[in-house]
Amino acid sequence: MPAKKNYSNKSKSASFDNDWGKKEHSSDTERRLHPRIKDRIFVFGWTANEPITLVEGITNNLSVGGVSFDTNVEIKKNNVLWLEIYLPSDYRKQILESLYLKARVIWRKALKNEKGSNKYRIGLRFENVAKKELKMLTRYVEDGFTSRK
């Protein structure tokens, strides 16, 4: 098992998987606490508060700390969502495992509305992640599925 990497925002620089296994360099200005991987994964969710609103989208990036995805549904900042993320367990994306996570909307921005495109991009931070889900997320992000072609 490889040694744990320190991705603390106090470090001078760090490398993390990005863009389907490509390494990207982070500088002192990088605010992220965790490495992230860009991938297109289906996300389904619903708001924790009444009235319940269903949300679905495709991820832009994923880390053990949170996720960003595009959606057609306007979700306000600080709303809590229950998410089901269909995480691939093989590099060909033929086997999927469901992750059930609680997340809070940290930021939201409107996207240029092109015909057939999503209207919003939201960034969420996971809350109270169970050990099983944390282990799955960590494996997926750290592996980066670098053998994917």
Letter string b/e over residues 9-34, b meaning 16 or more CB atoms within 10 A of that residue's CB: eeeeebebbbeebeeeebeeeeeeeb
- Percent helix, percent strand, percent coil in the chain, to nearest 5: 10, 45, 45
CB distance 133 to 99 below 8 Å = yes
Assigned superfamily of 34-143:
predicted glycosyltransferase like domains (2.40.10.220)
CB distance 14 to 139 below 8 Å = no
Per-residue pLDDT of the chain (149 residues; tens, 9 = 90+): 444 444 443 333 334 443 444 334 344 334 556 667 888 889 999 999 888 999 999 999 999 999 999 999 989 999 999 999 998 877 777 788 899 999 999 999 988 876 667 789 999 999 999 999 999 888 888 876 544 43
Output the pLDDT for position 118: 75
> Which residue from 71, 45, 77, 46 is spatially nearest to 58, judged by alpha carbons?
71
pTM of the full predicted structure? 0.71
